[in-house]
Structure 1
Amino acid sequence: MNIFSKGLLFLMMSPLFLVGQATVLTPQYQSTNKGSIKHSFFIAGPNFTGIIGENGEEIWDSGKKSARDGYVLRNGNILICWGDEVLEYNKKKKVVFSYTKAEKSMELGTAVRLPNGNTMITESGSNPRIVEVNKKGEVVRAVPLMPDTDNIHMQTRMARKLSNGNYLVPHLLAFAVKEYQPDGKVVNVFNTDLEDLGGREAENWPFTAIRLENGNTLVTLTHGNKVVEFDSNGKVVWKVSNSDLQETPFVDPCGAQRLPNGNTVIASYGAQKGIKLFELAPDKSMVWNYEGHRVHHFQILTTNGKPIKGTPLK
């Protein structure tokens, strides 16, 4: 069992992480499964930010609302990004890391713990950038971004650092996912206003961009109600939308995660009722869904009691 598995199992069994320190929780929000799939997962959401167990029970509640991004780390700690700060909680629910935005008008949108222990955060504002912050909360690297808009809220969302040291950054109103070098130079662009995706009229605003193990890039298109996969040349090689599903679950999809089995889990952030999170097989069939709390972003943690292996592709 690896460090992540031990940390996750400790977290899910520890009473310290139950809502309000309670020992029993009523599963108010059940997962709806097609078949035998059960997941536990972390939610960063507008009304609830915490962990849901495989039976739909609330295992852990951050006590705060309106989270944007977050991870359950390998040691079992939880890293969460809100619009104004990034916090990391340990197993005793003590804040062990924090970073607060420097300007009132600024928005923080991403929080990722890097392999070297630093934390990557996106800052939208008059000078949009990615920062890497050390354990003391000090900025040790800053990468300028070019979102093509002064609309702070619409500049960027879920950026991720790639294994080659570059950064993959979705820019909503630019209709583009840009790959930046550490010096801020753009070396690749995936356009989401392609004609075969409906052009700009379809409002295919890129929200989450994920570099897959095969080199392709998975992107959620929030107002366009689609998820697409691009090859390295920017050609769409896989696309799914409401037209492919009887349940029509796409309502402003924000977060996404590609699982090791090839399935894709998608957060339908705009859904006020019904399906909020759902899993699709490569053939676009829905194999699992969740109808509880609204979900901005998330992390699938376990499937049928087994921790998800490897770095989460989310």
Structure 2
Amino acid sequence: MKPISILLVALLSVAPFARADHPFLCTDSVAGKVCVVSAEGKIEWEHSCNHPQDCWRLPSGNYLFSHSGGALEMTTGKETVWEYKAGANTEVHACQPLPCGLVLVVECGPCRLLEIGHDGKIAKEIKLTPPPESVKLHDQFRGVRKTQDGHYLVCRKGEHVVQELDGDGKSLREIKVPGDVHEVVPLPDHHLLVTCGDGHKVVELDAEEKIVWELNENDLPGNPLRLMAGCQRLPNGNTVFCNYLGHGHLGEQPQVFELTPDKKIVWQSADHANFKSINQIQLLDVPGDVTKGEVLR
């Protein structure tokens, strides 16, 4: 009976991916790897790095991702075609592909946004106001996004604030959020989708910063929100969320789930055999050019 039990556990570990019917790119910062997973739950591509965070599939088919020491673009054949290496006492936890081959990164430590060209040169630098000394380097910044109007949205993690800057770096507003904010996604209707980390919460804010939708810690029976990290809004209005389990909850519950606006789970994945804690995801069967902001994550 023992071999049958082992087989059953193995089958159960991949079954949620089969139900998802979505190929995807993801990062696992606890296990230290970036992976492409087929709709059947098979890992088709994998690269090891230290604490990967953001990840994107580019129109070229290459993969762009950040890790604690910088950012990297790699082919499906694992050839590095572009790389940014951050300096000492610096952590990078977000990146975004921009038009004309530029890549946006945010640096904890130096406290700055950089737009870097494929030639490795810094095309633009914006200094960020340093957080209070009580905020550790690791907790300074998380997700950063450049919007269609050229503004920057910065997750000031340790301060529980989303900051909006204009194209020159002038602060336009600071939005207090209920938790150590990990991701902010600008939506086409000028709403902001915000994941609140260990605040165990997600909020969608309208243009006046009013909460128009929220997901609370215990809204999903049997699947409490832990650290809410990456997310992706889908064309049908559903949202995919990464429920990061790395702070004492490894192996306990699904790592990723898709949710309807009325909070019904469409699918969820709990592949604890291959992943410890998925913190960012991009569904690869959702059309759109990521360099033009057409994929909402």
Q: TM-score, normalised by structure 2?
A: 0.86
Q: 1:108 to 1:282 in 2, by over 3 A?
A: same
Q: Which residue of 1 aligns with 2:208?
A: 233
Q: 1:147/1:263 Cα in 2 relative to 1: closer, same or farther (>3 Å)?
A: farther
Letter in 2 for 1:83: S
Match of 2:41 in 1: 56
Amino acid at match of 1:38: D
Q: Per the alignment, do residues 297 and 268 of structure 1 end up closer, same or farther by CA in structure 2, a change over 3 Å counting?
A: same
Alpha-carbon shift at residue 137 of structure 1 (Å): 1.2
Residues 30-82 of structure 1: per-residue CA shift (max 9 Å, x gap) = 25279x64111111112131111101100101133521111111110001111
**Partners of 1:84 and 1:264 in 2: how far apart?**
29
Question: What corresponds to 2:59 in structure 1?
Answer: 74
Q: Distance in 2 between matches of 1:142 and 1:223?
A: 30
| One of 276, 281, 285 as aligned partner of 2:255 | 276
Q: Which amino acid aligns with 2:122?
A: V
Q: 1:250 corresponds to which residue?
A: 225
Alignment of 1:57-136 (within 5 A): 57-102=42-87, 104-125=88-109, 127-136=110-119
Could you tell me how far apart the structure 1 residues matched to 2:131 and 2:77 are?
Answer: 42
Shift of 1:28: 9.0
User: How far apart are the structure 2 equivalents of 1:130 and 1:265?
Assistant: 27
| Structure 2 residue 152 is the aligned partner of structure 1 residue 149 | no
Q: 2:280 aligns with which of 288, 292, 297?
A: 297
Among 166, 170, 175, which residue is 1:181 paired with? 166
Distance 1:31 1:225 in 2: 26
SS of 2:100's partner is: coil
Alpha-carbon contact 1:45-1:296 (below 8 Å) kept: yes
- Secondary structure class of the residue paired with 2:41: coil
Amino acid of the structure 2 residue aligned with 1:106: T
In 2, Cα distance between equivalents of 1:107 and 1:27: 38
Note if contact 1:189-1:234 (Cα within 8 Å) is conserved in structure 2: no
**3-state SS of the aligned residue for 1:30?**
helix
Question: Of the candidates 152, 157, 171, which is equivalent to residue 167 of structure 1?
Answer: 152
Unpaired runs of 5+ residues, structure 1, are 1-25, 194-203
Which residue does the alignment assign to 1:201? none
- RMSD over aligned Cα, in angstroms? 1.9
Q: Distance in 1 between matches of 2:103 and 2:150?
A: 14
Total equivalences in the alignment? 272
User: Contact 2:230–2:280 at 8 Å: present in 1 too?
Assistant: yes
Match of 2:240 among 265, 284, 287: 265
Could you list the runs of 4 or more consecutive aligned residues of structure 1 that deviate by over 6 angstroms after TM superposition? none
What is the CA-CA distance between 1:191 and the residue it aligns to? Answer: 1.5
Distance 1:247 1:309, change over 3 A: farther
Secondary structure at the counterpart of residue 243 of structure 1: coil
Contact 1:27-1:58 within 8 A present in 2 as well: no
Q: Is the 8 A contact 2:50 2:69 kept in 1?
A: no
- TM-score normalized with structure 1 length: 0.82
Deviations 1:213-244 (CA, angstroms, capped at 9, x unpaired): 11100000011111100011111110012321
Partner of 1:45: 28
How far apart in 1 are the matches of 2:126 and 2:50? 29
Q: Which is further off, 151-160 or 65-74?
A: 65-74
What is the deviation of 1:27? 8.3
Amino acid aligned to 2:279? H
CA distance in 2, matches of 1:27, 1:260: 31
